[in-house]
Chains A and B, each alone.
Chain A
Amino acid sequence: MSPAQALATAEKPRDGGLQVLRERGQREVFCGLTGIVWLHRKMQDAFFLVVGSRTCAHLLQSAAGVMIFAEPRFATAIIEERDLAGMADCHAELDRVVDRLLARRPEIRTLFLVGSCPSEVIKLDLGNAAQRIGARHLRSETGEGVRILAYSGSGIETTFTEGEDACLTTLVPEMPVQAADAPPSLLMVGALPDIVEDQFLRAFAELGIANVGVLPARRAGALPAIGPNTRYILAQPFLGETARALEDRGAVRIDAPFPFGAEGTAAWLTAAALAFWIDEMHINRVIAPGRERAKRSLERYIPALKGKRITFLPDSQLEIPLARFLATELGMIPVEVGTPYLHRAHLAADLAQLPEGTRISEGQDVERQLDRVRADRPDLTVCGLGLANPLEAEGLATKWSIELVFSPVHGFDQAGDLAELFARPLRRRDVMRI
């Protein structure tokens, strides 16, 4: 399929006909706090302060496992009994903690106060706190302040990657206003590993798109301007609220499948370029080498993956585009594709390419879902860390979903790495005699 064709399918989503199994029961997923683990690496002058409980701190520690960093740019202000009993005014306590933190880390330009379930249940207004504290931390000597923002990563509001969505949403109002007569600009949205981000920026430059901004920017001062002349393209499928906020500021979304594999990336880059009226011949010329390289890197994996059945348990919302990639580019057969939340509009292009008969499920009832996995017996199950070893022990091969979020997997030059992540557990089973 040419990128233009891919785009064409993208334009007529298989609506209505889509059967979605909706479930509500026990969910086995991280909360939105987890996003801090990659966001703090991405935004190099930002600090994330969770206002929560010991559980929140323990979650971050267990999910992050980056203890190697002496002082990572995140921490938890643990609410204690005396805060709850009103013996200590929560706001005064928070001010104290923040002051200490900022005194210790003068290089911090943006501080995110991250809400948790406990802070929300006790109705601790962090937005308010952010304004109050922000006013005090204008660094007058330099005229430069510390920007204090607040968002919720709580488990009662957000699931895993929705934490990033909430974080980026708070950055949107901070973006400068684009001049009314500004030339059209492109905004790439979603945290990507630097290496992938740079590849995409190079590709946009070669395509001839002159003004390209990235959200989140690596440094707080570098937030791109935004306005009605902005076209934005999502690099991650879980950014529903961010998209809405961008649209409130006049930006217009470029519809595209997500940039996984040779075809996904080709279609994604093409969609961006077409939005800037770039000549199709030129587009094909620019992307052909990368696309060919990606295809070649995928060919190696086809023998191992073709015809293999795969189930995704809900986790990061990357499930639909990844299933699309595995099905159309590697010949895998998606059995069930679970996602915590299905954003139909943003995923239309990928949904349209899923093979007929793919079972799509939204939400979760983990016990029932595991019953289905046991009945389906897929060749590979993509699941969270809590479920992987137990499923392996039942004889089912698994791939940890978290690696898909943490590793560079987008774009042409990561296509082979992405396929490798799925092929390795299967290959391992083939080579082992134990």
Chain B
Amino acid sequence: MQLAVWTYEGPPHVGAMRVATAMRGVHYLLHAPQGDTYADLLFTMIERRDARPPVTYTTFQARDLGKDTASLFQNAARDAVERFKPQALLVGASCTAELIQDDPAGLANNMGLPCPVIPLELPSYQRKENWGAAETFYQIVRHLADTSVRPAAREGRRPCVNLLGPAALGFRHRDDVREVRRILDLLGIDVHLVAPQGASPEDIRTIGAADFNIVLYPEIGDEAARWLDKTFAQPAIRTVPIGVGATRAFIAEVAALAGVDPAPALNDPSSRMPWWSRSVDSTYLTGKRVFVFGDATHAVAAARIAHEELGFTVCGIGCYNREFGREIRNAAKEYGLEPLITDDHLAVEDAIAAAAPELVLGTQMERHIAKRLGIPCAVISSPVHVQDFPARFSPQMGFEGANVIFDTWVHPLVMGLEEHLLTMFRDDFEFSDAAGPSHLHGSAPAHNAMQAQMQAKPEPVLAPAGDILIREEAAPVAASGGSSGWTDEATRELHKIPFFVRGKAKRNTEKYANEMGLAAITLDTLYEAKAHYAR
């Protein structure tokens, strides 16, 4: 048994839902108890989908057990096929139904349903969401792909590709696809299909017609891509174009495989990130310590951007999906770090606290951790929350993605100029610490509004789903000094340190005092510690 408070990934059938929901014309019959229907809200609330996921739950109850859960399943299958008329029906079990062993695949196959049935075996007690999505997508492709379909003769047509991996509830998948399509268009390459996002079973049937595949999200698309390579000899591009360097490499690989000139895409004038990063205002970014955690693909990409394209120092790297642990281990080696491969968020919290980074790049989990520790944070990977499904176009991939990344990562850090102003004017009464960096105020309007409401109400009670109501703990950074051991003089000095580094200064000084066995922290201790920890 594993003790878990928060989880990075849901169960594997949620992965299957992400695939089914992304597609058109499929329906998923899930043998599951009523409570499992909560998963619908992930799509309708967090991703703001305007339609229910195409999922029918059998919602068996205790009184059905040992009697007729099987016929319940068959009735549900009949009703769902009649009502939704899918072109393909996925059938499977959630964790509970797996235990009662009704064999959804066999039951559905015996019914003579008027559409193909794709059975999903997703072992809930071993696997998790990403694996479930990958397996589901693979099964769909394997069942539906027409192996006689091959690319048309190459002469007289543009090369064409499949984009594999984008799914529902994915971090920026919608926008990544649009950006990658733009790149391909500049290269004169057609997109045969995007899958699972937006694909129908009929589209999948023709998947063999593309010249090659591009795996945008290996966590979801790679298993299918490997099968396609084996079956259709369709090669796959696995370079994920997140970051300027990776995008350039991606363009070069794609162009080479397609036999086209990479220049039109490489010379894209909308690539602003390199100049933004070289311009003098960005100097202050140099050597900022960042901690990176997410799914392996996004974490590896983020670390590379941080290191090569922003001049940060990567002080921690990890992922929650063990299946891709190798990628993280390789990257960690490059930065001389111990990889953190865990899905225990408490372990991640400890690691972040120990690394004392100046910026955390992570999932919604790390955002909360960072908030508690008073460290700026930007989100780079699923799982994400409702505010990470923006209305505007904001990809992670391609040159536009790099532009977006520059803005979103630098934003939480105190801007270069502002940093100086704060230090210079910190005794000016108009520059009260309480104001904090001006740009942070608007960063989470929903939360701030909620906080205000919470403070107004004596009893915040509880938080409804999609966490509409929350109670925030004040970031500890602002509260500092005065703790036992600090002399008044040292405390006063501590308050002169800009608030955004004060927390760290305080922690370091206390750690130093502790290690040195000092009972009192004096002005000297403060500066000794500063010298001790100076990079």
Are B463 and A64 in touch, CB under 8 angstroms? yes
Contacts of A27 in B (CB 8 A): 34, 37, 57, 59
Are B464 and A400 in touch, CB under 8 angstroms? yes
Whether B76 is near chain A, meaning CB under 8 Å from some CB there, is: yes
Q: Determine which of B11, B96, B124 lies in contact with A121 in the assembled complex, contact meaning CB atoms within 8 Å.
A: B96
Q: Which of B48-56, B170-178, B275-283, B285-293 is the contact stretch?
A: B48-56
Q: Determine which of B2, B79, B99, B463 lies in contact with A80 in the assembled complex, contact meaning CB atoms within 8 Å.
A: B2
Are B3 and A385 in touch, CB under 8 angstroms? no
Contacts of A88 in B (CB 8 A): 1
Residue of chain B at shortest CB distance from A197 = B459
Interface residues in A177-209 (C-beta closer than 8 Å to B): 193-196
Q: Which of B227-235, B406-414, B465-473 is the contact stretch?
A: B465-473
Contacts of A9 in B (CB 8 A): none
Whether B204 is near chain A, meaning CB under 8 Å from some CB there, is: no
Contacts of A402 in B (CB 8 A): 464-465
A77 to B94, CA, bound (A): 17
A409 to chain B, nearest CB (A): 10
Interface residues in A399-413 (C-beta closer than 8 Å to B): 400, 402-403, 405-408
Given contacts A68-B472, A402-B464, whether A386 and B41 have CB atoms under 8 Å apart is yes
- As a 0/1 sequence over residues 38 to 61 of chain A, the CB contacts with chain B under 8 angstroms (1 = contact) are 100100000000010111111101
Whether A217 is near chain B, meaning CB under 8 Å from some CB there, is: no
Are B125 and A57 in touch, CB under 8 angstroms? no
Contacts of B126 in A (CB 8 A): 80-81
Are B459 and A195 in touch, CB under 8 angstroms? yes
Are A389 and B95 in touch, CB under 8 angstroms? no
Given contacts A38-B462, A54-B124, A156-B96, whether A387 and B44 have CB atoms under 8 Å apart is yes
Whether B458 is near chain A, meaning CB under 8 Å from some CB there, is: yes
Contacts of A118 in B (CB 8 A): 95-96, 99
A167 to B35, CA, bound (A): 17
Q: Determine which of A64, A155, A390 lies in contact with B51 in the assembled complex, contact meaning CB atoms within 8 Å.
A: A390
B85 to chain A, nearest CB (A): 13
Are A156 and B33 in touch, CB under 8 angstroms? yes
Interface residues in A244-262 (C-beta closer than 8 Å to B): none
Given contacts A26-B59, A66-B467, whether A55 and B36 have CB atoms under 8 Å apart is yes
- As a 0/1 sequence over residues 97 to 111 of chain A, the CB contacts with chain B under 8 angstroms (1 = contact) are 100110000000000
Whether A79 is near chain B, meaning CB under 8 Å from some CB there, is: yes
Are A67 and B41 in touch, CB under 8 angstroms? no
Are B37 and A386 in touch, CB under 8 angstroms? yes
Are A78 and B2 in touch, CB under 8 angstroms? yes
Residue of chain B at shortest CB distance from A31 = B35
A201 to chain B, nearest CB (A): 14
Q: Determine which of B1, B34, B76, B463 lies in contact with A29 in the assembled complex, contact meaning CB atoms within 8 Å.
A: B34
Are B7 and A58 in touch, CB under 8 angstroms? yes
A138 to B209, CA, bound (A): 69
Size bracket, chain A contacts: 35 or more
Contacts of A279 in B (CB 8 A): none
Size bracket, chain B contacts: 35 or more
Interface residues in B324-383 (C-beta closer than 8 Å to A): 349, 364-365, 368, 371-372
B179 to chain A, nearest CB (A): 26
Are A385 and B35 in touch, CB under 8 angstroms? no
A216 to B448, CA, bound (A): 32
Q: Determine which of B48, B56, B61, B95 lies in contact with A54 in the assembled complex, contact meaning CB atoms within 8 Å.
A: B95
Whether B321 is near chain A, meaning CB under 8 Å from some CB there, is: no
Given contacts A81-B126, A195-B458, A386-B40, whether A26 and B76 have CB atoms under 8 Å apart is yes
Are A77 and B3 in touch, CB under 8 angstroms? yes
Contacts of B435 in A (CB 8 A): none
Contacts of B473 in A (CB 8 A): 68, 70
Are A65 and B79 in touch, CB under 8 angstroms? no
Given contacts A81-B126, A390-B51, whether A65 and B41 have CB atoms under 8 Å apart is no
Whether B136 is near chain A, meaning CB under 8 Å from some CB there, is: no
Are A390 and B50 in touch, CB under 8 angstroms? yes
Interface residues in B457-512 (C-beta closer than 8 Å to A): 458-459, 461-473
Whether A333 is near chain B, meaning CB under 8 Å from some CB there, is: no
Given contacts A53-B95, A389-B50, whether A31 and B34 have CB atoms under 8 Å apart is yes
Whether A11 is near chain B, meaning CB under 8 Å from some CB there, is: no
- As a 0/1 sequence over residues 332 to 376 of chain A, the CB contacts with chain B under 8 angstroms (1 = contact) are 000000000000000000000000000000000001000000000
Whether B42 is near chain A, meaning CB under 8 Å from some CB there, is: yes
Given contacts A26-B58, A390-B50, whether A406 and B96 have CB atoms under 8 Å apart is no
Are B96 and A393 in touch, CB under 8 angstroms? no
A97 to B461, CA, bound (A): 29
Q: Determine which of B6, B50, B95 lies in contact with A393 in the assembled complex, contact meaning CB atoms within 8 Å.
A: B50
Residue of chain B at shortest CB distance from A38 = B462
Whether A151 is near chain B, meaning CB under 8 Å from some CB there, is: no
Interface residues in B75-129 (C-beta closer than 8 Å to A): 76, 79, 83, 94-96, 99-100, 123-126, 128
A96 to B2, CA, bound (A): 10
Interface residues in A134-168 (C-beta closer than 8 Å to B): 154-157, 159
Given contacts A94-B1, A97-B1, whether A41 and B14 have CB atoms under 8 Å apart is no
Contacts of B459 in A (CB 8 A): 193-196, 408
Q: Determine which of A29, A53, A57 lies in contact with B96 in the assembled complex, contact meaning CB atoms within 8 Å.
A: A53
Contacts of A58 in B (CB 8 A): 7, 10-11, 14, 38-39
Other 15 A-B pairs with CB < 8 A, given A37-B462, A58-B10, A67-B365: A29-B34, A30-B38, A51-B1, A55-B13, A62-B38, A66-B462, A70-B372, A79-B1, A80-B2, A118-B99, A155-B36, A156-B65, A195-B458, A389-B44, A403-B464
Q: Which 9 A-B pairs have the closest CB atoms?
A: A65-B467, A31-B35, A386-B40, A155-B35, A155-B33, A393-B50, A117-B96, A53-B95, A195-B459
> Taking beta carbons and an 8 Å cutoff, which residues of B are in contact with A?
1-7, 9-11, 13-14, 33-42, 44-45, 48-52, 56-62, 65, 76, 79, 83, 94-96, 99-100, 123-126, 128, 349, 364-365, 368, 371-372, 458-459, 461-473
